[in-house]
Every structure is written in C-alpha cells, then in structure tokens.
Structure 1
Amino acid sequence: MNFTAKLSTIGLAVSLAFSAQAQEQAASEDAKIETIIVSGTAGGRGIRKVDAAFAVTNLDEVKIERLAPKSTADLFKSVPGVWVESSGGESGANVFVRGFPGSGDAPFLTLSVEGVPVYPAPTLSFLENSSIFRLDDTISGMEGLRGGPNPVVSNGQPGLTTNFSLKRGYEDTEGSVKYTTSDYGLNRVDAVLSGELAKDLYFMVGGYVKRSPGIRDAGFDSEKGNQFTINITKEFDNGQFNIFTRVTDDRGAWYLPTPLNVDGVDGGFTQIGTKNRYATVYAGVNNEAVEYDLGEGRGWDGSVSGGSLKLELGNGWELIDRFGLTKGDANTIGLVPHGTAVALSTVADNGLSATGAVTGIEYSGDTIVQDYGRWIVQKEIEAFVNDLAVSKDFDSWSSSYGMYTATTSAKDWWALGNSAYHVVEQGGEMLEGVACNFELSGCSWNYDISSVGDAKTLAFYTTQKWFATDDLTLDVGVRSEKHEVEYSVDEGLDGTASKYVEYSERKTSWTLGADYKFDINQGMFVRFNQGYKMPYFDDFRDNYGAYTGGEDLIKEVKQAEVGYKYMGDSVDLYATFFANEFVGDTFQRNFGGPVEVFTTEAYGVEIDFNYAHESGFNLNLNATLQDGEITESPVNEGNQIQRQPNYQIRMTPSYDFEVDGMYASVYGTLSAVDDRYGNNENVVTLDGYEKLDLGATLEPVENVKLLLSIDNITDEEGLTEGDPRSLTAPNGRYILPRSVKFSVSYAF
C-alpha cells in the first residue's frame, strides 16, 4: 500500500466518522459526555475526556475481554501511535511510541496502577514495565496517554503512560468465576468478589491460577503462574482512602528469534524443550559451574502495592496523595541464538557428525545446527513512589501544585554467553563433539556481571489552566526534576567494581496547550511540550567513559500536537497529528562495542474512532501513519528509524444480537502493518503483513457467558524483529501462531 492509498484509507474512515458525527449531533445536541480520565492531570484529579487538550485512549473491561490479549503489552496495540512487538512471550515485549527511536524493550512506556507508576525506570536491560504486570478479571479498564502533559505530571514520561484501574467494591456483593482453556493446553481459573465490609468500607479480591505448555509448545508446562489482588476503599464525608496489593508469581518461556532459512522452522518454533531445559552455566573468573532450569524463562515474582488519599480541604482546595511500592524478582533465563544456522559438518570436530548430549544419538553431517547461548539474568528490583498534589478552582482559573518522589533500585547477576551448538528442531538437544572457539561457535564469549544501583528522583511541578472564554481554555505546566544515581558494577565477577558512578542532574520540562470547543460534543486542541528521559543504571554501564558529563546521557524530546475530537452517544473520534524531535539517543549492538549517538525526527497522524449503532453494529478503527528519520548520525543519517512501520491499521467490527432469547456477539479484528527496517543501518527489511482475529460470545442463560476467540486465524507468519545481535544472520522472531481460546464464566 503506497502513501496515497494509506491516506485514502484514513480519509475514508474520517469521512465516515464525520458523517456519523453529523447524524449523532442532529439526534442529540444536548448529549452529556461523562467519560472521565485521570491520566495527564495533576495527582490524577480527573477531567472529562471531551475537555482534555490531549489524546487518550480508553478501554473498558468488555473491550479488553474481546481483544483477548496474550500479554499486557499485547493490549497496547489498541492505542494509536504505539507499535508493539509482543512475540517474545508474556514478558519481555518491545514497545515503541510515535517514532521515538529505540532498539528494543520499552524505554518510553510508563505502566501505572491506580495512577502510580509500578517502576520509575521505564526500561532496564531485560526488563520493561509490562513484564511486572499481569492482566486478569480484577481490572476495570485502562487509559493510554501519549505525549500531551506527560513530561510534566506523574514520573515525567515523555512517551506513553498507561494507567490500569482496579475494580472496587460497592454496597451490593457481586463476583464471577471463569475457566479458560485453549488448543495449546491452557488451564486457567479466574475469580473476583467485591462488596461492602462495613458502612462506607468496600472490598474487592480476585486473581487467577494457570498452567500451559505455551503457544509455542515447549513439551512441558513452560507457562505457569498465579496472582492475588485485594483492593480496599474507605469513603469519608470529604474524600476517600484506597489501598491495594497485587501479589504475582508468573513466568513463561522466553521466545527468541529463530532461523528463517531452515525448513520446518515456523511461527510455532521455540528453542526450549525437555531435552535442553536443564543446563550447566559457567560464570566468573573461576568458571564456577551452576545448574539452571532454562525452562523458567521470563517472569515476575513479587508484589505491586499502593493506594491513594483524596480529601476536600475546604474553601475549594483539594488534596490527592498517591503512593506505591513494588518489590520482587524479574529474572530472564533462556536459550539465545548466536549467528547463522549451519550444517553440522561445518562445525563438527571430525567434520562428519556429533553426538547428542542427552540422548546419545549420533547426528549426521547434514543435520542443521545453531549456536545457542545459555543466558542467565537474575534481577531483584524495588521502588517506592509518592505523588502529592493540591489543587484549587477559581472563577476562571484552576491551579495545581505537586511533588513527585521516587526511589528505585536494582540488583543484577548475569551470566551471558555459555554457548554450545544445538540441533535446530523443537527443543533440540545440545551436541558433544563440536569445537568451542570464537570463529566457529562463539563459545569463548561470556559476559558476567554483578551490579547494584540506586536512583532518587525529586520533582516539583505545577499545572495552570485558564478558562479564557466559555469555549477556549489555555493551560501550561512546568516540572523541575532532580535525578540522582549511584551505581556499581563488577564485570567478570572478580569481586571488584570495574565501573562506579555518582550522578546528579536537574532538568526542567514544560507543556503548553489550548483547547477550543465547537459545541458541547466536539473541539480541537493544540499542544507543545519538551521533556527528557533521564539515565538509569544500564546507561552508565553501556556508555561508561564515552561521555564527558552527565548531560550527554539525557535524552531530549520536543513534541507538537494538533487534534480534533468528538464524543457523542454513539460516536467518538480522536484524530491527532504529531511531530517530534529526539536528541541524544544511543545505540550499542554488542556489549563493549561502539556506541552510536544520533538524532531523529518523526511526524504522523493517529486515528481513534468508535461507532455504535442502535442495530447492534459497532466499529473501532485504530490507525497510525508516521514517518521517522535519523537526521543526525555518524553513519546512518537519512535512514529510517528501525523497527517501526510507516503505517499500521486495526479495524474491529462487531455485531450484538439476540437469538432465541440469548444474547450473542460476533466480532473480528483485521490488522495491516507496513514493512519495517530491522536496524538503523536499514540493511534488514521486515516485510509487512496482515492478521485476522475472530471472536464470539454467547449468554445462553442469565449470568453465564461463553467466549471463543481465535487469534491469527490464517496463521500468518509476520516478523516483529530480525536478529538484534547481528546485521547479517538470517534470524527473526515471528508473531505468535494461530491459537484458539474458550472460556465459560458465571457472574453472581
């Protein structure tokens, strides 16, 4: 699809939207819009969505259920302007925002629960925010704010802030139980219960337990976990107090790029299996041998807790304090491919064959083999966050003042490398009788570290809003942030610190916006902002000694937005044009290798359109057109930004109806994605693809619901990434293969 065709597609959708809008407005001029959002407001104070001078996407629990996301990150595909690679399993996604540059993970994503960031550092090596949060039936909805006032409020994230709301109890006791199974052997039970404990004291409890061999079948239960959440709310005459905790122990196999030039390797392939999950890893100067179960994969064993206090102080003043504590282990363990898959005869000691380390089978020289590294990353993290804001509304003015504090820590132990040749088949075993040297297999390459890092952030911010007329509102926000880091790393595990950092820098971010209402249902907004991504522990380790001062590690982002919005009883539309400049990003392909510093520019348009007809027909259109370019670079100037498509379109029609007194719904999602480049050098092309998902619900009797969802029904083998460790190896990671889920739930 060329650029003209893309514009035509979006133009048709917008034309339909405006046509529907005209009908809607004629039918309901006095419609009252009550959708309330908390993202982008000081302390999560809240604002009507139609009054917001920024773009926010809302998903309620019904939409989340129908999307049937395979992971938390998978849900973010429903937010325009966001590109998600969720093919690595339930943890370890790559999330990109509005053309901001990046080579992986999610450096411009903040994930919040009840308005509290779960971990202030958006990304550390082998950790991004969505890895430490699991979806279940205790979630009532999600908001996704990109750009806008983000650089000023919360933790100052310039990219995407997602906020998950937990269900809360009310006077009536209610609950649900759901069982889910699948064609890949999933067994999962979800339950939730809520109600009143005493007068004005409410509760919600819930969680899940699950087991599965994984969508890419490992031959054993590679995905297993459980989660428990409790949420308590106390209401006062002048406010409320809320406290929650979410305890999780959930992990799954780590899916990595696979060889694209080997017959039999497709979207269902995974390296891990019963014949290779137990392995010996050698680490440190003494080559200490440690046994590991590589089947543990990636996961989260810890808790996310927090709460809020909201008080009306009198004389128009309001206080909101939100706090959170996250603590636990986010480990990454698995088999990482290195280089190209080759015939065994080219690497065998005798040039003819080699023996399986587990089975003793002698494999012939034409057997296809690949070098897999046995990588171990143990990561213990902890963070405490507090966001305090006071606000007051005057006749034509609204003022808010806030203080944000955060302490963040991470303790790491890594053993990367430990390479050995394995048979390229599902769960293929390691081979004996293969030389271990750098030229052939990379077996001599190891990177072992032990590190500890602590960061402190103290920020003061203010947002001021002036209601210039009944239709025009102007706002400004400023944030002054001091960021401190202490970090020590022992590379080689010899007991001494090879790198040590004491760091302190201050930056000021700002936002300026205007909102104009055409009428009660529609308007437009303009916004400019400037924000920063402050460095954390890995930035200092990877770039140690390469820069003259702390300023060099701070990434600067400038953004501009112009948006049109309409919200009615059956139609809502957000169309947002964005442009940004990103200064000071860095990229390092291999540990210890050269560091590239570059600047990028990107512009595009986001469409978020929803239509609901009284006949039961509904339509959602989520589309992004963007163009991102590296504008300054020693070697890649003029190239496109890696990994992000120039267009992505998701169209989801649905139809709700009754049959023989039973309520039913059928729906589907068609996704279309453009080609991308797998690296900044633009030498690896990842072909675009189309993907179709289908689903249906049926309520045969009162309070019982059946749900069937089919993901990737045509078993499309689209690629999300190449090999991030090599420019030339023909490896890549496919999107998840076709899968079918079925659930039955009972509500009471």
Structure 2
Amino acid sequence: MMRYTNLRLARTPVCLAVLSTMLMGTNVMAQSQGTPDTGAQEIEELIIIGTAGGKGVSRDDVSFAVTTINNQQIEKIQPKSTADLLKSVPGIWAESSGGVAGANIDVRGLPGGGDAPFTSFSVNGSPLFGFNSLSFFEGSTLFRVDETVASVEALRGGPNAVFAKGEPGATINFQLREGGEETTGRVKYSTSDYDLQRVDGFVSGRLSEGLYYMVGGYASKSPGIRDAEFDSEEGWQLSSQITKVFDNGKVNFYARATDDHGQWYLPISLNNRESDLGTFSQLGNATRFREIQTAPSGTTETFDFSEGRGWDGLVSGINIDFELGAGFKIKNNFNHVSGDANTFGFVPAGSAVSVAALEEVIGGSVMTQQGDRLTGDQFAQTYGHWVVLKDIDSFSNDLSLSKTFADSHDVTFGWYQSSFSADDFWTLGNPIAVHNSQNGIPLSAGITPGDIASAGGNAGFAFGLSSEGNADVSALYIADTWSISEKLTLDLGLRYEEIDVEYRLDTGPGFPDGVRDLDVSLDGDEVATTAAIDYRVSDELGFFVRYSDGFSWPHFDSIRSGVQSVFGVEQLEGGIKFSNEQVRAYATLYHNETDAFNSVVGASVANSAFETRAVGLELEGEIFLSDRFTTVFGATIQDAEITASTNGNVGNTVLRQPDFQIRLSPQYDFEFGSGYQATVYGTFSYVGDRFGDNGNTVDLPSFEKIDLGLIVRADSGLFLQVHGDNITDSDGITEGDPRNPSAPNGRPIFGRSVKLSIGYDF
C-alpha cells in the first residue's frame, strides 16, 4: 500500500485536539442581513428548502438534516471558493484544493471520487443544471459567493429525493439578498500577502411603494497562493434582484452575470522535496501558452492556460409566491443558465523522475529550453496541456400548488420541467517534458516524454472529442405534511420523473477525427418516495425518523463511457434536536445503500457499476457559553464500503471520503474604546485518513488546519477584518493522483495566507 507519510503536518496541542474530537461544524442562526451577529440565540431559523410548497418552517420542527449559514458566518469562514464553504457542513466532504472551480464533493459515503455526483446547487430554490456533474464540471463552478448572498441552506438526504430536481444526496441553496424599506449596503476592499486585489459591494433599498432592489458584485485579481507568475485568479460578478411585494405575495426577478476563472490546481510530485506543498505551481510564464493541433487537417490553435477553470455566463430567474385564499398557495421558480464552463489545465502524467535517472536514459546532460543545465538531484516530469471547452445551457421551472386542509394537512402538488445541454470540445494529453520546479521550464527539444517514461515516469497520451448532449426532464410530485397532534407530525412525499437524453460523440487521437462514434437516444422513468415522523417531546427536545428512496440518472459522460445505470439511493435517517438558551444541538444518524445494477436506461447494461453501503453520524450545533463567548461545532463519523462491484474491490472503503471529520469554531465578542465592537474568532478542523482509490492502495493521511481572525467594527459603519488561513501551514493532502494511482503525486491544501479587508456598512 502506498502511504503519503513524508508530509510536514503541523500539529496542535493535545488538549485542543481532544476537545475538537467532540465538537465541530457549523449550525448558524438565521439573522438579519448586514448586521453584526449578536444575540443569535434569540433568533429563529426558518427553513425553506425541503419543505412542502417552500414555506418557512422552524429548524426545530423539520424532519431532516439541514445546515444554514448566514452572511455573517460566511464572513468568518472566508471560503476561497463556493465548494470551500461546504467544509462547514457535516456529512459533506469537499475537496476545494483545486481552485476557484472544479471541486470534488462527496456526500454521506455515496460513491463519487470526482466532481460532485450527488450534490445539487441552486439559487433562490432553482437548480443551476440538470445533471450535478459532467466530466470537468460540477455545479459549484456556476456560482460565486459574494456580498449579495443572504444565506445558504445545505440539506442532506431527507425530502431531497422528492422536491426540486429530486436530488438524493445534498442540495445547496443560495438565497440572494432582497431590498427593504431602508437603503443599506456595503463597500469593501480586500488584499492579502499573495497580492489579492478585490473590491466587493452591494446596495439595496426601496424604488417605490412595494418595489425593492438589490444590486452588487465584485471585481478581483491575484497571482493566487500558488503563484503562477501572472494573475492566475481573475474575474468579476454583477448581481441584481428586483422584488415586488403585493398584499398576498411577492415576485422576485434576479440576474447574475459572472466572468471568473482561476488556475486549476492539480496533484503535484510528493517525491520532489524542492516543492513547497502549500505554494507550489508547476504552471508559469514558460508553459502558459501552447500551440495544439485541433483537427485532422493539421489546423492548430494557441491556447492561454492562464484561464484555468471558471465560468463565463449568466444565471437569471423569476420567483413567484402568492397566497390565493381559502388555504391555497401557489409558488413558481423559473431559472435559466447559459455560458461557458471551460477548463485549461496543466496536468501531471505519472511520476517525477530524477535528472540523474534521465541523464542515464539520454546519455548526456539535461538542459532546459532556456539553456540551463539541471543537476542530478533535480527532477523532471511529463505534463500535458489539457483543453476542455464546455458550452452549457439550462432552464428549469418548478410550479407548485399547496392547500391547507382543516389546519392539519399541508398538501402540495408540483410539476417540474427542465431542459439542458452541454456541447464539448476536448483536446487532452499534449505531453511535454518539464523541469519539475516552481513555474518549471520545458526541457530542450531533444528530450521527450518518452525519455521520462524510460527513466521511470510516464509518456502521457493524446485524446480528443467533440460531443453534444441534450436532456429533457419532467416530474410530478405530491407531498403531505400532516399535523396529527401538537407534538406529532407525519411527512409523506412521492415523485414520478421521466427523462429523454440524446448524446452524439466524435472522438480521435488528441482531437475529433470527424467520424461519428456514438449516437444515443435514451429515455426512462423512475419513482422517488419519502416518509417521516417528527415528534416534539417538549419545547426544547424533539426527534424524527425518515425513510427515502431516490435515484440519480446517468449523465452525458457516463453514457460516453458505456455506463447507463440509474443509481438508486435508499436512506434511513433518525435525528435528535435540542434547543434552549445555552445550547442548540442536532444529531442525525443515517444509513444509505446504492444500487447501480437493477435499473438501466435504454437497452444496454452498464459495463462498470458497483453498490455501496454507508452508516454515519452527523453532529452540529452551537454553545452559548456567555453573552460574548459562543462556539459552533460539528462532526461527521461514518463507515462506507463497497458491497458489490463489476470491477472487484468488494469490502473496500469507498474512495476519498474520511471516516472522521471534526470542526470547532469559537468566537468572542467585546467592546473597547468609544463606539467600537470586535470579534475574535477561529476554527480548528481535523480530517481523518482516507483512501485515494477504490482499490484502497493509496492511503491519504489525516491532517489538521487552524484559521484565526479578527473583525473590528465602529458605530460609524467602518470595519476592518484580518483573517489568517491555515496559520500553522499544515500540509494536508486531499487526493492522490486519480489518473495514475500508483504515482507519488497528491493535491495539497493551500499553504498559510493572510487576508486584510476594510469596508463601510451603511
């Protein structure tokens, strides 16, 4: 078994580590927008996601596991990407070390290993795309967290399988700020020790009687913590929302234009001790541009790899919510998404080799293209310039009608429709021999990737494609929330869904060769169900039990790979909820099983499929030690294994996901001087051992991480924040090398960084 043991892991005091094994995570109180987070224990959380008709229900009354994060807590988390925010949610394992886009996100032991196959992202209740993942794409790519976000809801399991797009894993919903009677806003400037230059802001208020607005966004650029010798993280976003309030409801119009990208950080060589794991970047000015053949005719194009991974597109939608009288309520969420989610990556191929070994192969000195001679103790490696151009388009509409009967039944009928597409062009591989150093320089033309392979590395490969995928989904769902008594509530839900998929493919050696390789039309239908009992023992204590049976369709790239299985996901959950003036605590025990064998779309049987089982416990909550000192906590403990497989590995642990995660976030509020309030906060997190592959041959060790910060606010509205991320410079590894599991490569977390923000609230 390979084990990455040569890591410089920063350790923390034993007493803190022991305390943190009991407490972690985030459960954030829903607070008013733009105000300091004081008196949080007095404010009730209202949950929208996962509830019949989208009506707000107190968190203490819902019968599922949900985490809420408001804008004040986002400010303390300081996520470096949208996926990075999910590290605060129990039950979710988010590998956000890849940059601003393209994370790997797994949920409750469900089989993943790349992208986010069981995590759906939505805005104002509307899903951003019909499939959670495609190759080189996952939903968090389409959303950037900024000051226009009011709150986040993260629902795991439960009624996910029935509502919205029928996600059996996790649904992450971002609610945008709305305007109000008073004009409020924020302007903020941020910089860092890695030369970040960013301006954020928003303003909201009243346009006329019952008509309100919000507009905001950001502009940002930096070389990145992994400095690529140019601004490798750069972009902007502009969001707006208009709200019209009527006597019996309201209408929201929103639009969110984004053009933001960042370097795609990939596994790096762990046997080259010249590399600083926290700041190393192979990409640099010498490898930024590459001329690549794109067609059989010999046509070439020069690509700029500073563009990394990102999103250049528009998300827009309409939310309609009205009370019709006689207990009826109508709600409609419409959303349209269109743009480019491209990837330009400088990807390692196999192991780095010593220059001494390479000299033996070529029988001479190893020189760079700039004429520098390398020494025998330095390293060389094959890298490839990968280009993925992905044009996506999606619309969804979720119409629901709710009726309250006799003050005891809330019955909801819903109709969901979605059409979405992805048009791709790939040229992968394009190998090149490079000096494996910070911003490494290509080796002289006489040294080839084949030479590196002969020295013990890898020669790389060439693969290209052009594809078009289209899908149409329609679903009918019904739910009933039955208040049997003041203490006992029964939830029931049923969803029937149909899908039609068309996929066309042209592959070739580094570029599409002009020959149609695949033309597939599939259709299918599935049913999802959920049922739960919620019982309030007292005002402080309650519990629930829920069963759900959901599914996940095969996406375009799984069809390309010959996998047409529908993943069935069956879950059983039980939760305890406790809340008083000193403590809010939530514990959810879950058991899930997946089935990829018995349900197949179309006539073909999947050539690769497996089943899994996971048992786990999610803990989260908040302790109010005093009016000034609070601690947010949470943990995930799970056991996930492969129970059946066409490729072996039965009995092995599901890849990538740790059996144990903890997170502890204390904060202390105080006043000083005349008119100044301050908050000192921090987060300790621990991630347990994981396996980098389903074969369990690559062992990724545990790691810890500590963040610290200070926020100072003046009564005038001025504020200052200093945030230190990974202050002990821990070298945690989030993944091995998924393309070459035996290669001693790994993707580390970001090294230590410090960010300074100054701003004004009004």
Provide the TM-score with structure 1 as the length reference.
0.92
1:666 to 680, 683, 686: 680
Deviation (angstroms), 1:44 = 2.1
State how far apart, in whole Å, the 2-side matches of 1:7 and 1:55 are. 26
- The one of the two structures with greater contact order (alpha-carbon pairs below 8 A, sep at least 6) is 2
Deviation (angstroms), 1:584 = 1.7
State how far apart, in whole Å, the 1-side matches of 2:629 and 2:20 are. 20
- Mapping of 1:519-668 within 5 angstroms? 519-543=538-562, 550=564, 553-584=565-596, 596-633=608-645, 634-661=647-674, 662-668=676-682
| Secondary structure in structure 2 of the residue aligned to 1:715 | coil
Q: Partner of 2:469 in structure 1?
A: 453
One-letter code aligned to 1:54: F
1:435 to 413, 438, 448: 448
The Cα offsets for residues 259-285 of structure 1, whole Å up to 9 and x where unpaired, read as 001112122111111111011222343
| 1:323 aligned onto 2:334 | yes
Deviation (angstroms), 1:212 = 0.2
C-alpha contact (below 8 Å) 2:611/2:642 kept by paired residues: yes
| 1:161 aligned onto 2:156 | no
The Cα offsets for residues 564-587 of structure 1, whole Å up to 9 and x where unpaired, read as 01234443111000000012289x
- Mapping of 1:60-459 within 5 angstroms? 60-265=70-275, 266-347=277-358, 350-357=362-369, 359-364=370-375, 366-395=377-406, 396-431=408-443, 432-437=445-450, 440=454, 443=459, 445-459=461-475
C-alpha contact (below 8 Å) 2:349/2:460 kept by paired residues: no
C-alpha contact (below 8 Å) 2:147/2:202 kept by paired residues: yes
C-alpha contact (below 8 Å) 1:53/1:527 kept by paired residues: yes
State how far apart, in whole Å, the 1-side matches of 2:22 and 2:234 are. 45
Q: Are residues 742 and 10 of structure 1, via their aligned partners in 2, closer, same or farther at CA, if it must alter by over 3 Å?
A: closer
Deviation (angstroms), 1:168 = 0.7
Q: Partner of 2:700 in structure 1?
A: 686
State how far apart, in whole Å, the 2-side matches of 1:554 and 1:161 are. 19
Q: Partner of 2:61 in structure 1?
A: 51
C-alpha contact (below 8 Å) 2:52/2:411 kept by paired residues: no
Deviation (angstroms), 1:13 = 5.2
Q: Are residues 261 and 469 of structure 1, via their aligned partners in 2, closer, same or farther at CA, if it must alter by over 3 Å?
A: same
| 1:711 aligned onto 2:725 | yes
Alignment length (residue pairs): 715
CA RMSD of aligned residues (A): 2.2
One-letter code aligned to 1:318: K
C-alpha contact (below 8 Å) 1:94/1:104 kept by paired residues: yes
| Secondary structure in structure 2 of the residue aligned to 1:74 | helix
C-alpha contact (below 8 Å) 1:338/1:372 kept by paired residues: yes
The Cα offsets for residues 291-336 of structure 1, whole Å up to 9 and x where unpaired, read as 1111110010001111211111121110000010000000000210
Q: Partner of 1:728 in structure 2?
A: 742
1:508 to 523, 527, 542: 527
The Cα offsets for residues 668-700 of structure 1, whole Å up to 9 and x where unpaired, read as 111111111110011100000111110111124
Deviation (angstroms), 1:442 = 5.3
One-letter code aligned to 1:454: N
Deviation (angstroms), 1:595 = 5.5
| Secondary structure in structure 1 of the residue aligned to 2:741 | coil
C-alpha contact (below 8 Å) 2:327/2:404 kept by paired residues: yes
State how far apart, in whole Å, the 2-side matches of 1:569 and 1:190 are. 35
Q: Partner of 2:752 in structure 1?
A: 738
| 1:470 aligned onto 2:486 | yes
State how far apart, in whole Å, the 2-side matches of 1:675 and 1:392 are. 49
State how far apart, in whole Å, the 2-side matches of 1:740 and 1:457 are. 45
C-alpha contact (below 8 Å) 1:455/1:536 kept by paired residues: no
State how far apart, in whole Å, the 1-side matches of 2:560 and 2:428 are. 15
| Secondary structure in structure 2 of the residue aligned to 1:62 | helix
State how far apart, in whole Å, the 2-side matches of 1:561 and 1:222 are. 43
The Cα offsets for residues 440-481 of structure 1, whole Å up to 9 and x where unpaired, read as 475572110000110010000000121111111111100000
C-alpha contact (below 8 Å) 1:284/1:448 kept by paired residues: no
State how far apart, in whole Å, the 2-side matches of 1:620 and 1:595 are. 45
In structure 1, runs of 5+ residues without a counterpart are 18-30, 545-549, 587-593
One-letter code aligned to 2:595: V
Q: Partner of 2:35 in structure 1?
A: none
State how far apart, in whole Å, the 2-side matches of 1:615 and 1:33 are. 14
| Secondary structure in structure 1 of the residue aligned to 2:229 | coil
| Secondary structure in structure 2 of the residue aligned to 1:363 | coil
C-alpha contact (below 8 Å) 1:417/1:443 kept by paired residues: no
State how far apart, in whole Å, the 2-side matches of 1:410 and 1:268 are. 34
C-alpha contact (below 8 Å) 1:101/1:585 kept by paired residues: no
State how far apart, in whole Å, the 2-side matches of 1:80 and 1:367 are. 42
- Of 313-322 and 489-498, more deviation after overlay is shown by 489-498
Q: Are residues 444 and 97 of structure 1, via their aligned partners in 2, closer, same or farther at CA, if it must alter by over 3 Å?
A: closer
Q: Are residues 289 and 313 of structure 1, via their aligned partners in 2, closer, same or farther at CA, if it must alter by over 3 Å?
A: same
| Secondary structure in structure 1 of the residue aligned to 2:140 | helix
Q: Partner of 1:591 in structure 2?
A: none
In structure 2, runs of 5+ residues without a counterpart are 1-10, 28-40, 599-605
One-letter code aligned to 1:240: K
C-alpha contact (below 8 Å) 2:433/2:448 kept by paired residues: no
C-alpha contact (below 8 Å) 1:479/1:509 kept by paired residues: yes
Q: Are residues 694 and 6 of structure 1, via their aligned partners in 2, closer, same or farther at CA, if it must alter by over 3 Å?
A: closer
Deviation (angstroms), 1:702 = 2.1
Provide the TM-score with structure 2 as the length reference.
0.91
State how far apart, in whole Å, the 1-side matches of 2:42 and 2:752 are. 42
State how far apart, in whole Å, the 2-side matches of 1:501 and 1:184 are. 48
Q: Partner of 1:25 in structure 2?
A: none
Q: Partner of 2:7 in structure 1?
A: none
One-letter code aligned to 2:282: Q
Deviation (angstroms), 1:364 = 4.7
| Secondary structure in structure 1 of the residue aligned to 2:160 | coil
| Secondary structure in structure 1 of the residue aligned to 2:84 | helix
| Secondary structure in structure 1 of the residue aligned to 2:306 | helix
| Secondary structure in structure 2 of the residue aligned to 1:142 | strand
Deviation (angstroms), 1:500 = 1.1
| Secondary structure in structure 2 of the residue aligned to 1:150 | helix
State how far apart, in whole Å, the 1-side matches of 2:588 and 2:493 are. 20
